Amino acid sequence: MAAQNIATEAHRRRTFAIISHPDAGKTTVTEKLLLYGGAIQLAGTVKGRKSDRHATSDWMELEKERGISVTSSVMQFPYRDEVVNLLDTPGHADFSEDTYRTLTAVDSALMVIDAAKGVEERTVKLMDVCRLRTTPIMTFMNKLDREGRDPMDLMDEVERILKIRCAPVTWPIGMGKRFRGVFHLLDNRVHLYEAHHKGGIQQGEVIEGLDNARLDEVLGDQADELRDEVELLQEAGNAFDEAAYLAGELTPVFFGSAINNFGLQELLDRFVQHAPSPQPRESEDRAVQPEEAQLSGFVFKIQANMDPNHRDRIAFMRICSGAFERGMKLRHARIGKDVRIANAITFLASDRDHVETAYPGDIIGLHNHGTIQIGDTFTQGETLKFAGIPNFAPELFRRAVLKDPMRMKALQKGLVELCEEGASQLFRPLTNNDLIVGAVGALQFDVVAFRLKNEYGVDCQFEPVGVTTARWVYSDDEKRLAQFRDRQAENLAEDVSGALAYIAPSRVNLQLTEERWPDIEFRATREH
């Protein structure tokens, strides 16, 4: 593939994910973005509406949806001259470590906030993950058609809690019953809001300039209110600054109502203009440039396929450089083997298709019979290992208990294999024979139990266990580490990779232990 072509195609890519708290409007925003991208004709077709989702502690239901969820894990659509890749971040009951790790495979993120609720707990966590790689963030304040909080307060809260400066790009005119539209601070235009959109794209009236007399005609008193607010913003607020946005220090803020298709087009226009295209990516030896001729990529997620009888899994690989073409041979760098990739999957929105060509920023799905692990690198021959695709410390822990003790071997095998997919983790304490599974979302325990039964013929239950959080422990001082291992053995475990983890009975205990062992490092992530 001509290098010029690779550079051009890479430059057109915008690969991002949405971070939000459940119910803030991620699904609705996704749907509308697909609508603007021409990927769907009418909104209302994206799977996983709330009515389905909340009942999904039943893994059977999820099982039925598996095929679909592979497809909607990545949605690709063209917008203007760019190609947008939107990576799904599972959010409700299906929240898991995959959600975190997906954020290591994007170049930027869109934060969706419910304007009535402000910054919520899940958003804070996801933002922390974005910080690991200083990911640029755009913000959409959603649900302005309802009474919400004062827009200034909302921005203050984002600045205070998330420690990022806010620069409004659009500004709301009223809210709830008085919501009339937004003023675009960079384009100096007012976009008027219409509530009845019937699922299509909104094309309300646009008024040029704040001084336009038409504004007073349409908005009445609200016109002067708007002028005052904008004056205040221009004097005291942050102006949009692309460099600060790209450095993760400032977030451009847009206001709107996703359900009414309002305010998102302004965001999408600016998104394709300013959001970063694929950036150079660090490997253990060197930084890999997207426009390099040779293909490279890393696996950030593994998902079980539809048919459990085949144990077929799809490995999601993000392309970092070069171009992928069907039938090409790739080097699986960790095991040093070459494999021919005949049937990779691509993710054109609403359709799962076989990939012909894919470029940096794109995601492809590789069929995997158990040899591919999260964090694995693929190349065209170079021995390379991409960095920054970690495991995250689980937040929930349970002990696996067998119904039939004779099935111990099968249980261990099943747990190891399922945990290798990466949505849950296995810890084996140093001082007893417990099998402790850790996860970021509670549904993962149901998933593991169901799949153990279905795929490994093992009946197992998950019971509470006295572990609150885990930290991987490191030290350059081997003697000291050995001492630590000795004295703290009761609270230590090995994970699937054999790495040593401190499994803390409580946060307080963790804190005290950290204070007592200042030369031991306690890390909340572990690199593969």
Binding residues: 20-27, 88-92, 142-145
Given a contact cutoff of 8 angstroms between Cβ atoms, the answer to whether 74 and 3 are in contact is no
Q: Which of 22, 199, 204, 280 binds ligand G4P (CB under 6 A)?
A: 22
- CA dist 380 and 288 (Å) reads 13
Max CA-CA distance within the chain?
A: 82
Q: Which of 7, 10, 17, 24 binds ligand G4P (CB under 6 A)?
A: 24
CB of 126 to ligand G4P, least distance (A): 12
- CA dist 349 and 37 (Å) reads 9
Given a contact cutoff of 8 angstroms between Cβ atoms, the answer to whether 424 and 441 are in contact is no
**Alpha-carbon dihedral of residues 203, 208, 214, 216, nearest 10 degrees?**
100
The binding site for GTP comprises 20-27, 88-92, 142-145
Given a contact cutoff of 8 angstroms between Cβ atoms, the answer to whether 463 and 399 are in contact is yes
Determine if 28 is a binding residue for ligand G4P (CB under 6 A).
yes
CA angle 33, 363, 335 (to 5 degrees): 160
**Choices 22-30, 167-175, 384-392, 421-429 (CB under 6 A): range interacting with ligand G4P:** 22-30
Token pair, residue 513, equals 């232990």
- CA dist 129 and 109 (Å) reads 11
Given a contact cutoff of 8 angstroms between Cβ atoms, the answer to whether 523 and 474 are in contact is yes
Q: Which is nearer to ligand G4P, 109 or 389 (CB)?
A: 109
CB of 498 to ligand G4P, least distance (A): 38
CB of 20 to ligand G4P, least distance (A): 5
CB of 193 to ligand G4P, least distance (A): 11
| Binders in 29-58 for ligand G4P, by CB under 6 A | 49-51
Task: Look at residues 161, 137, 165 and name the one whose alpha carbon lies nearest to residue 19.
Answer: 137
Q: Which is nearer to ligand G4P, 13 or 143 (CB)?
A: 143
> Residue holding tokens 């140093």?
430
- CA dist 90 and 18 (Å) reads 10
Q: Which is nearer to ligand G4P, 23 or 282 (CB)?
A: 23
| Binders in 180-219 for ligand G4P, by CB under 6 A | none
* Site residue total, ligand G4P (CB under 6 A): 20
| Binders in 226-285 for ligand G4P, by CB under 6 A | 257-260
**Choices 141-149, 302-310, 440-448, 456-464 (CB under 6 A): range interacting with ligand G4P:** 141-149
Task: Look at residues 301, 333, 323, 330 and name the one whose alpha carbon lies nearest to residue 104.
Answer: 301
Determine if 139 is a binding residue for ligand G4P (CB under 6 A).
no
| Binders in 301-360 for ligand G4P, by CB under 6 A | none
Q: Which is nearer to ligand G4P, 26 or 331 (CB)?
A: 26
Q: Which of 104, 142, 296, 425 binds ligand G4P (CB under 6 A)?
A: 142
Token pair, residue 188, equals 């100096």
Determine if 20 is a binding residue for ligand G4P (CB under 6 A).
yes
Q: Count other C-beta atoms under 10 Å from residue 97's C-beta.
A: 26
**Footprint on this chain of ligand G4P (rule: CB under 6 A):** 20, 22-28, 49-51, 91, 142-143, 145-146, 257-260
